[in-house]
Amino acid sequence: MRKTVWLAAATAAALPLGLTACGSGTATGKGGDDGPLVVGVTPVPAGEVLHHIDDKLAAKAGLKLEIKEFTDYVLPNTALQEGTLDANLYQNQPFLDDFNKSKGTDLVSVVKAYLPPMGVYSHKVKDVRRLRDGATVGVPNDLTNEARALKLLASAGVIELKPGAGADASPADVTGNPRHLKFQEMEAAQLPRSLDDMDAAVINNNFAQDAGLSPTKDAVYLESAKNNPYANLLAVKKGNENDPRVKKLAKLLTSPEVKKFIEDKYKGSVLPVSGN
């Protein structure tokens, strides 16, 4: 039976109590190998992929899942580190690396699951290259996603970044800005709701889809999958990589059945990947 708990950033102070009250007490192996694997996800696409696995594939694989849905990018990792989750699925490797560095956590990747391409969205232009002079562009305010957003704008040719600008790129690294774009930094989840107040916004795939935006239809510029380091991954606390339940989920996430589900459901808005 599907078991879902919604948690928002406002619940941070009550996180341990909230998760314990709503969960089964099996996180970090308390229920043994036969207990449910408690996995934190953002609703789209991670939650939808996990629910499909739970509904169609998990029982046959001898896996029980308990899925907890979050609406921000911090709590799933905090809960994983604290042990109220066994695993999570929502982030990419650069984000995980930065989180570990800045928060002192020891979370590790188990397997890459899918790529949710980031896109530029606008209600005012149909092509990102037609942004007006002085246009305001919203970008996520966390280090990893802001760098990713700036790289996306640079790949579109609307800005230039200094050579070597990497996973920590910021507006200070913009060396060419012929349209004099102004960058509005805000929480990634807030960008779709603020789109009408800006000329454009660079929005993470899950938040775009949550807001009813189709990456393949509505984005005025979409990230390429070629050589893309931002595939979302299944993560656990270091030392739990060999949990049999984690291994079963990792195998299912890269199975032909899940690949087909992603291709059929998202039609290019989310791209399946396989392997570590």
Are 204 and 178 found together in one domain?
yes
Residue 266 CB coordination number (10 Å): 22
In total, how many domains does the chain have?
Answer: 2
Phi and psi, residue 256, nearest 5°:
-60, -35
Q: Which tens digits make up the pLDDT trace of 163-212? A: 999 889 999 999 999 999 999 999 999 999 999 999 999 999 999 999 99
Tens digit of each residue's pLDDT (9 = 90 or more) over 213-265: 999 999 999 998 888 899 999 999 999 999 999 999 999 999 999 999 999 99
Q: Are 216 and 83 part of one and the same domain? A: no
Q: How many CB atoms lie within 10 A of CB 26?
A: 18
Nearest to 5 by CA among 17, 25, 22, 20: 22
**Pair 173, 76 in one domain:** no
Domain identity same for 143 and 191: yes
pTM of the model: 0.78
What is the C-alpha separation between 266 and 28, in angstroms, rounded?
A: 32
Q: Are residues 76 and 169 in the same domain?
A: no
Domain that holds residue 42: 4-116+229-272
pLDDT tens digits, 106-150: 999 999 999 999 999 999 999 999 999 999 999 999 999 999 999
By CB atoms closer than 10 A (0-12, 13-18, 19+), residue 140 is buried
Q: What local confidence, expressed as pLDDT, does residue 28 receive?
A: 53
State whether 211 and 247 are in the same domain: no
Reading the block at residue 219, the tokens are: 């984005």
